[in-house]
Structure 1
Amino acid sequence: MRFIQSWYASNCDGEWEHEFGIKLATTDNPGWHIRIDVSETDLEGVVVPRERYDLPDGGWMIAWSDGDAFQAACGPMSLRDVDALFERLAEEHAGDGSDESSP
Protein backbone atom coordinates (compact mmCIF):
# COMPACT_ATOMS: atom_id res chain seq x y z
CA MET A 1 0.00 0.00 0.00
CA ARG A 2 3.01 2.25 -0.42
CA PHE A 3 1.62 4.09 -3.42
CA ILE A 4 -1.78 4.73 -1.82
CA GLN A 5 -0.01 6.07 1.29
CA SER A 6 2.12 8.37 -0.85
CA TRP A 7 -0.87 9.49 -2.95
CA TYR A 8 -2.85 10.29 0.21
CA ALA A 9 0.02 12.27 1.73
CA SER A 10 0.50 14.23 -1.51
CA ASN A 11 -3.15 15.31 -1.47
CA CYS A 12 -3.16 16.42 2.17
CA ASP A 13 -2.99 20.20 2.01
CA GLY A 14 -4.52 21.25 5.30
CA GLU A 15 -8.04 21.20 3.86
CA TRP A 16 -8.61 18.17 1.57
CA GLU A 17 -8.02 15.61 4.34
CA HIS A 18 -10.72 17.19 6.53
CA GLU A 19 -13.42 16.34 3.98
CA PHE A 20 -11.95 13.41 2.02
CA GLY A 21 -9.89 10.34 2.77
CA ILE A 22 -9.49 6.58 2.59
CA LYS A 23 -11.51 3.86 4.28
CA LEU A 24 -10.26 0.28 4.58
CA ALA A 25 -12.42 -2.49 6.03
CA THR A 26 -12.45 -6.25 6.18
CA THR A 27 -15.20 -8.28 4.52
CA ASP A 28 -16.66 -11.61 5.51
CA ASN A 29 -15.81 -13.55 2.35
CA PRO A 30 -12.84 -13.01 3.59
CA GLY A 31 -11.16 -10.02 2.08
CA TRP A 32 -10.84 -6.26 2.02
CA HIS A 33 -12.86 -3.30 0.79
CA ILE A 34 -11.15 0.03 0.18
CA ARG A 35 -12.76 3.35 -0.72
CA ILE A 36 -10.51 6.21 -1.78
CA ASP A 37 -12.07 9.66 -2.18
CA VAL A 38 -10.73 11.17 -5.40
CA SER A 39 -12.75 14.40 -5.35
CA GLU A 40 -10.59 17.50 -5.75
CA THR A 41 -7.64 15.39 -7.04
CA ASP A 42 -6.32 14.54 -10.50
CA LEU A 43 -8.62 11.50 -10.47
CA GLU A 44 -11.84 13.46 -9.97
CA GLY A 45 -14.17 12.66 -12.86
CA VAL A 46 -12.27 9.55 -13.96
CA VAL A 47 -14.85 6.81 -14.42
CA VAL A 48 -13.70 3.19 -14.41
CA PRO A 49 -16.28 0.48 -15.02
CA ARG A 50 -16.51 -2.31 -12.46
CA GLU A 51 -14.17 -5.10 -13.48
CA ARG A 52 -13.09 -8.36 -11.87
CA TYR A 53 -9.46 -9.42 -12.05
CA ASP A 54 -8.39 -13.00 -11.42
CA LEU A 55 -4.83 -12.67 -10.17
CA PRO A 56 -1.93 -15.00 -11.05
CA ASP A 57 -1.47 -16.14 -7.44
CA GLY A 58 -5.07 -17.35 -7.23
CA GLY A 59 -6.34 -14.14 -5.67
CA TRP A 60 -9.04 -11.85 -6.98
CA MET A 61 -9.90 -8.17 -7.12
CA ILE A 62 -12.90 -6.13 -8.25
CA ALA A 63 -12.32 -2.41 -8.84
CA TRP A 64 -14.25 0.61 -10.12
CA SER A 65 -14.54 4.37 -9.88
CA ASP A 66 -17.57 6.65 -10.25
CA GLY A 67 -15.41 9.76 -10.58
CA ASP A 68 -15.81 10.70 -6.90
CA ALA A 69 -14.40 7.56 -5.30
CA PHE A 70 -12.21 4.67 -6.38
CA GLN A 71 -13.31 1.43 -4.78
CA ALA A 72 -11.94 -2.08 -4.73
CA ALA A 73 -12.75 -5.37 -3.08
CA CYS A 74 -10.15 -8.10 -2.97
CA GLY A 75 -9.05 -11.31 -1.32
CA PRO A 76 -7.16 -11.21 1.97
CA MET A 77 -3.71 -11.30 0.32
CA SER A 78 -4.40 -8.93 -2.60
CA LEU A 79 -4.02 -5.42 -1.17
CA ARG A 80 -0.71 -5.06 -3.04
CA ASP A 81 -2.57 -5.69 -6.30
CA VAL A 82 -5.10 -2.96 -5.44
CA ASP A 83 -2.20 -0.61 -4.71
CA ALA A 84 -0.60 -1.40 -8.09
CA LEU A 85 -3.88 -0.90 -9.97
CA PHE A 86 -4.52 2.43 -8.23
CA GLU A 87 -0.96 3.51 -9.03
CA ARG A 88 -1.48 2.76 -12.75
CA LEU A 89 -4.74 4.70 -12.73
CA ALA A 90 -3.12 7.69 -11.00
CA GLU A 91 -0.14 7.68 -13.38
CA GLU A 92 -2.44 7.54 -16.42
CA HIS A 93 -4.33 10.61 -15.21
CA ALA A 94 -1.63 12.65 -13.48
CA GLY A 95 -2.38 16.30 -14.06
CA ASP A 96 -5.41 15.86 -16.33
CA GLY A 97 -8.23 16.26 -13.80
CA SER A 98 -10.88 14.24 -15.58
CA ASP A 99 -10.98 11.65 -18.28
CA GLU A 100 -12.73 8.37 -18.91
CA SER A 101 -10.60 5.28 -19.01
CA SER A 102 -10.20 1.85 -17.60
CA PRO A 103 -6.97 0.79 -15.93
Structure 2
Amino acid sequence: VVDPETPQAIIKPIGRIEKGDLVVVGREGIKVMAPQRPRGKKGVFEFMGSDASSEKPLQTLIKSIAQEVREVKSRGGKIAVVGGPAIIHTGSGPVLARMIK
Protein backbone atom coordinates (compact mmCIF):
# COMPACT_ATOMS: atom_id res chain seq x y z
CA VAL A 1 0.00 0.00 0.00
CA VAL A 2 1.42 3.38 -0.99
CA ASP A 3 1.29 6.21 1.54
CA PRO A 4 0.41 9.35 -0.46
CA GLU A 5 1.92 11.58 2.26
CA THR A 6 5.40 10.09 1.89
CA PRO A 7 7.29 8.46 -0.97
CA GLN A 8 6.95 5.07 0.70
CA ALA A 9 5.03 1.85 0.34
CA ILE A 10 4.19 -0.33 3.32
CA ILE A 11 3.24 -3.96 3.69
CA LYS A 12 -0.33 -4.27 4.88
CA PRO A 13 -2.03 -7.62 5.52
CA ILE A 14 -4.84 -8.17 3.04
CA GLY A 15 -7.40 -8.31 5.84
CA ARG A 16 -6.46 -4.79 6.92
CA ILE A 17 -6.74 -3.11 3.52
CA GLU A 18 -9.40 -0.41 3.63
CA LYS A 19 -11.42 1.41 1.02
CA GLY A 20 -9.28 4.20 -0.39
CA ASP A 21 -5.90 2.48 0.20
CA LEU A 22 -3.56 2.83 -2.77
CA VAL A 23 -2.60 -0.78 -3.46
CA VAL A 24 0.32 -1.52 -5.80
CA VAL A 25 -0.79 -3.92 -8.54
CA GLY A 26 0.55 -5.17 -11.84
CA ARG A 27 3.76 -6.76 -13.03
CA GLU A 28 6.13 -3.82 -12.82
CA GLY A 29 6.48 -3.83 -9.03
CA ILE A 30 8.33 -1.28 -6.93
CA LYS A 31 11.95 -1.05 -5.81
CA VAL A 32 12.43 -1.99 -2.18
CA MET A 33 15.43 -1.05 -0.07
CA ALA A 34 15.39 -3.66 2.69
CA PRO A 35 17.04 -2.78 6.00
CA GLN A 36 20.00 -4.85 7.15
CA ARG A 37 19.01 -7.81 9.27
CA PRO A 38 20.76 -8.24 12.60
CA ARG A 39 23.29 -11.05 12.66
CA GLY A 40 23.21 -13.75 15.30
CA LYS A 41 21.48 -16.93 16.32
CA LYS A 42 17.71 -16.78 16.42
CA GLY A 43 15.04 -19.30 17.25
CA VAL A 44 14.15 -21.72 14.48
CA PHE A 45 10.50 -20.59 14.52
CA GLU A 46 11.16 -16.82 14.59
CA PHE A 47 10.14 -16.54 10.92
CA MET A 48 6.55 -17.21 12.01
CA GLY A 49 6.40 -13.88 13.84
CA SER A 50 6.55 -11.79 10.67
CA ASP A 51 3.37 -10.15 9.33
CA ALA A 52 4.27 -10.80 5.73
CA SER A 53 5.82 -13.72 3.95
CA SER A 54 9.25 -13.29 2.47
CA GLU A 55 11.60 -15.61 0.74
CA LYS A 56 13.29 -17.81 3.27
CA PRO A 57 16.19 -20.26 3.01
CA LEU A 58 13.77 -23.18 2.88
CA GLN A 59 16.20 -26.11 2.90
CA THR A 60 18.03 -24.76 5.94
CA LEU A 61 14.76 -23.90 7.64
CA ILE A 62 13.29 -27.36 6.98
CA LYS A 63 16.42 -29.06 8.34
CA SER A 64 16.33 -26.88 11.46
CA ILE A 65 12.67 -27.64 12.10
CA ALA A 66 13.24 -31.37 11.51
CA GLN A 67 16.12 -31.33 14.00
CA GLU A 68 13.95 -29.52 16.56
CA VAL A 69 11.18 -32.13 16.09
CA ARG A 70 13.69 -34.98 16.59
CA GLU A 71 15.04 -33.36 19.77
CA VAL A 72 11.56 -32.86 21.22
CA LYS A 73 10.54 -36.45 20.38
CA SER A 74 13.78 -37.84 21.88
CA ARG A 75 12.90 -36.15 25.18
CA GLY A 76 9.45 -37.74 25.09
CA GLY A 77 7.80 -34.49 24.10
CA LYS A 78 4.87 -34.05 21.76
CA ILE A 79 4.49 -31.88 18.68
CA ALA A 80 1.37 -29.83 17.94
CA VAL A 81 0.63 -28.58 14.45
CA VAL A 82 -1.44 -25.45 14.11
CA GLY A 83 -2.07 -25.49 10.39
CA GLY A 84 -3.58 -22.93 8.12
CA PRO A 85 -4.71 -22.73 4.51
CA ALA A 86 -1.11 -22.53 3.26
CA ILE A 87 -0.77 -26.27 3.91
CA ILE A 88 -3.40 -26.95 1.27
CA HIS A 89 -2.51 -24.08 -1.07
CA THR A 90 1.10 -25.23 -1.30
CA GLY A 91 0.16 -28.86 -1.85
CA SER A 92 1.74 -29.86 1.46
CA GLY A 93 -1.30 -31.69 2.84
CA PRO A 94 -0.10 -35.19 1.85
CA VAL A 95 3.41 -34.46 3.18
CA LEU A 96 2.03 -33.32 6.54
CA ALA A 97 -0.19 -36.40 6.69
CA ARG A 98 2.86 -38.65 6.13
CA MET A 99 4.78 -36.81 8.85
CA ILE A 100 1.92 -37.33 11.31
CA LYS A 101 1.60 -41.04 10.47
TM-score range, shorter chain: under 0.3
| Larger strand share, 1 or 2 | 1
Relative contact order: is structure 1 or structure 2 higher (C-alpha 8 Å, sep ≥ 6)? 1
| Larger helix share, 1 or 2 | 2
Larger Rg over CA atoms: 2
- TM-score with structure 1 setting the length: 0.21
- TM-score with structure 2 setting the length: 0.21
